[in-house]
Amino acid sequence: MSRMLQLKLRIWRQGGPASRGSFLDVDAHDIPTDASFLEMLDIVNERLLEDGIEPVVFAHDCREGICGTCGLMINGRAHGPELGTATCQLHMRKFKDGDEIVIEPFRAAAFPVVRDLMVDRRAFDRIIEAGGYISAPTGTAPDANEILIPKDVADFSMDAAQCIGCGACVAACPNSAAQLFTAAKLGHLNVLPQGQPERWRRTEAMVETMEQYFGSCTNHGECHTACPKEISLDFIALLNRDYIKAKTKNRRLASQA
């Protein structure tokens, strides 16, 4: 049976990337413990509207832990207190009656605030555009068993493909680095046969695009802790190895052109 919580919220309000923001203090009463964190914000917004206050802007889409748009800083932690959980899957039963909850947008220069709790994550899109794809001939789809892939390789690739691009790794990193995101997007393609034609060009292009917007990785490991899909740091090791190889191989290919 759901209990009701009486909470004190401190919610960041900001009109836009160039505006000066501040916290709005809200008494959130009678919040069901079986509500998700985003459902709690929905309830708060309905009450703000009733009081003639503009609702708080926050990003969301699937609310199933898949799309990655819901990321928030909750009491200073990306996605909140529960490990391996996106904001939309965090439930209010993780909080206690009378708690004060501070809610902020992800803080990173590469993620400027759009409004209130919503940030612009298009820097991630630029990394993907630089090489996060494979060449595939058009026409009839090939038979599923035509390209044999060992199970351990397929499993490794799928572990990387779980990344939902939410940006929690960047928000949690003291350097605002995007190595875990980029490593996951590279890893799930670079280990598969279909990803080999562009492997070295992809690696160099995506890593160097990442470096234009984000800080450098210094192995704090906060990215893995904050990641709602618990992406392994092993993918960063793979990124570093492939990037070193790519610089040599791409230089050799360029000299032969």
Tens digits of per-residue pLDDT, 168-215? 999 999 999 999 999 999 999 999 998 999 999 999 999 999 999 999
Looking at residue 1, its pLDDT comes to 64
Least confident of 14-23, 104-113, 136-145: 136-145
Residue 77 three-state SS: strand
Q: Looking at the predicted structure, is the pLDDT value of residue 257 above 70?
A: no
pLDDT band at 2 (very low <50, low <70, confident <90, very high): confident
Parse the chain into domains and list their residue ranges: 4-115, 121-256
- What does pLDDT average to over the chain? 94
- Determine what percent of the chain is predicted with pLDDT higher than 70: 95
CATH class name, domain 4-115 = alpha beta
Task: Please give the Cα distance from 182 to 179 (Å, whole number).
Answer: 5
- The beta strands (E) that lie in 14-110 are given as 22-32, 73-74, 77-78, 100-104
* Burial category of 151 from C-beta neighbours within 10 Å (exposed 0-12, middle 13-18, buried 19 and up): exposed
CB atoms within 10 A of CB 221: 14
Q: Which residues are paired to 36 by β-bridges?
A: 91
The two structure tokens encoding residue 33: 């413990």
Average pLDDT over residues 153-164: 96
pLDDT band at 251 (very low <50, low <70, confident <90, very high): confident
The angle at the Cα of 187, spanning 197 to 196, to the nearest 5 degrees, equals: 10
Q: Which residue has the higher pLDDT, 74 or 256?
A: 74
Topology given in CATH for the domain delimited by 121-256: Fumarate Reductase Iron-sulfur Protein; Chain B, domain 2 (1.10.1060)
Q: Looking at the predicted structure, is the pLDDT value of residue 252 above 90?
A: no
Torsion of Cα atoms, 230 then 231 then 233 then 236, to 10°:
-160
